[in-house]
Structure 1
């Protein structure tokens, strides 16, 4: 399933979620316990549609997608179905239509499966963990810095803590070694948890349906032959969380297509 800018995604998704909420299958996710398996399949939420940019600093000083996420996390009573549609609607409002969020095609089924999940207040018996990963310093690359992303890191981490997450880790501008180490540690942490969240942002691109996050430690060459050497595939990051109930990936970066030819 693929949505374009002209389709009312929040409305359609909201209808699906309401229908699914009454289904006997909706609560099945709550029957799992940490350690039952390799973890639930990741659900990806994107700050923009394929081929589109995102704003580093919107009206509230950061990415409108981050602002929408923070506002929703601060709500005292929130289910996953309301959260999913609210994230899309609020991001569009805060960006004045510039950003139209998206959810991965493979994730639609998981969004429906989890619509009965209670996000706030957090159930006392559940363990929830998060990692906020930001690339904002591009002094070593031929790309502009992202000061809004740096500010969003603290704002999002604080919101997750207010929402009752048991452990929230922050990682900013890591080199390759630190990134690999942090992701391994987060995998181990999330394996003992019910729900894991990864928020990742920075300059990003999309090539043939795959999203790549660009670190800022070396010049980024707009050649597809350098893609694997100079970027971090989002799916590689998304495979790190291994919580038993839900693993949610929020990607705040752009999804531009940079290669016209080599």
Structure 2
């Protein structure tokens, strides 16, 4: 699923943050593994910073009390149950826990999301 508006938002927000002195890593259409590697690296780098910001956008899925970012390589023909989402998507709590700056950590998840039917 292509979300051209989300990709454009990521580019705009990244450019704005870079203009204001932030180091920026982008991942338009990234695979789950690439997102997880970037988050792990960001956690290490941000631990030496005063402020960390993550802006994530794209399509999300809500199942139970969890929200997941759907990566570019999510097998869309799979189900969207907790098992599949934990295996193939990125839990927003992983994104949040990747911010580890000393003074301020901000996470913006600007993705739309589909809620699982109970």
Shift of 1:220: 4.8
Question: TM-score scaled by structure 1?
Answer: 0.41
Aligned to 1:178: 34
Shift of 1:203: 0.9
Question: TM-score scaled by structure 2?
Answer: 0.86
Is the partner of 1:256 in helix, strand or coil? strand
* Residues in 2 aligned to 1:148 and 1:249: alpha-carbon distance in whole angstroms: 19
Is the partner of 1:183 in helix, strand or coil? helix
Of 1, 6, 9 in structure 2, the residue corresponding to residue 152 of structure 1 is 9
* Residues in 2 aligned to 1:178 and 1:213: alpha-carbon distance in whole angstroms: 13
**Aligned-residue RMSD, C-alpha:** 1.7
Structure exhibiting the larger radius of gyration computed from Cα positions: 1
- Asked if structure 1 preserves the Cα contact closer than 8 Å seen for 2:17 and 2:24, the reply is yes
* Residues in 2 aligned to 1:173 and 1:232: alpha-carbon distance in whole angstroms: 13
Structure 1 residue 256 and structure 2 residue 114: aligned? yes
- Asked if structure 1 preserves the Cα contact closer than 8 Å seen for 2:53 and 2:106, the reply is yes
> Where in structure 1 are there 5+ consecutive unaligned residues?
1-137, 139-144
> Where in structure 2 are there 5+ consecutive unaligned residues?
none
Aligned to 1:245: 103
Matches within 5 A, 1:227-242: 227-242=85-100
Q: CA 1:257/1:209 → structure 2, altered by over 3 Å: closer, same or farther?
A: same
Count of aligned residue pairs for this structure pair: 116
